[in-house]
Chains A and B, each alone.
Chain A
Amino acid sequence: MSSRPPPEPPFLVAIGGSAGAVEVLLTLLPALPASFPGALVVVIHLRPQVRSLLPSIFAGHIALSVREADDKDPIEAGTVTFAGPDYHLLVEPGGSFSLCTTEPVHFSRPSIDVLFESAAHTYGRRLLGILLSGANEDGAAGLAAIARAGGRTWVQAPETAGARRMPESALACMSPDRVLSPSAMAEALRSLSELE
Chain B
Amino acid sequence: MTEPPSDFDIELRLLLEAIYLKYCYDFRSYSVASLRRRVEQALEKFGCRTLSQLQDRVLHEPSVMPALLQYLTVPVSEMFRDPEYFLGLRREVIPRLLTYPSIRVWVAGCSTGEEVYSIAILLQEEGLLSRTTIYATDINPEALRAAEAGVYPIDRVAGFSESYRKSGGRGSLSDYYTAGYGAVVFDRALRARAAFSDHSLATDGVFAEVQLVSCRNVLIYFDRDLQDRAVGLFRDALVRRGFLGLGNRESLRFSKHADAFTELLPEVRIYQRCS
Contacts and interface: CB of A to CB of B under 8 A. Distances in A.
B253 A70 contact: yes
B31 interface: yes
Contacts, number: 80
B229 interface: no
| Most chain B Cβ neighbours within 10 Å, of A91, A93, A117 | A93
A92 B32 contact: yes
A93 B76 contact: no
Contacts of B77: 101
B34 A71 contact: no
B11 to A, nearest CB: 14
A142 B31 CA distance: 19
Contacts of B2: 93
B110 to A, nearest CB: 14
B220 A101 contact: yes
A91 B227 CA distance: 17
Contact of B32 (A1, A69, A93): A93
B99 interface: no
B249 A100 contact: no
B10 to A, nearest CB: 13
A32 B266 CA distance: 32
Contact of A72 (B3, B6, B224): B224
B contact residues, range: 20 to 34
B258 interface: yes
Interface in A50-88: 69-72, 84, 87-88
Given A92-B32, A121-B33, A3 B254 contact: yes
B148 to A, nearest CB: 22
A139 interface: no
Contact of B74 (A91, A102, A124): A102
A136 B45 CA distance: 26
A71 B33 contact: no
Contact of B31 (A69, A98, A117): A98
B91 interface: no
Contacts of A87: 220, 249
Interface of B: 1-3, 6, 9, 31-34, 36-38, 74, 76-77, 217, 219-221, 223-224, 227, 247, 249-256, 258-259
Given A70-B250, A99-B249, A102-B34, 13 more contacts: A1-B253, A8-B1, A70-B253, A87-B220, A93-B2, A98-B31, A98-B34, A98-B220, A100-B33, A100-B74, A102-B38, A118-B37, A121-B33
Interface of A: 1-3, 8, 69-72, 84, 87-88, 90-93, 96, 98-103, 114, 117-118, 121-122, 124-125
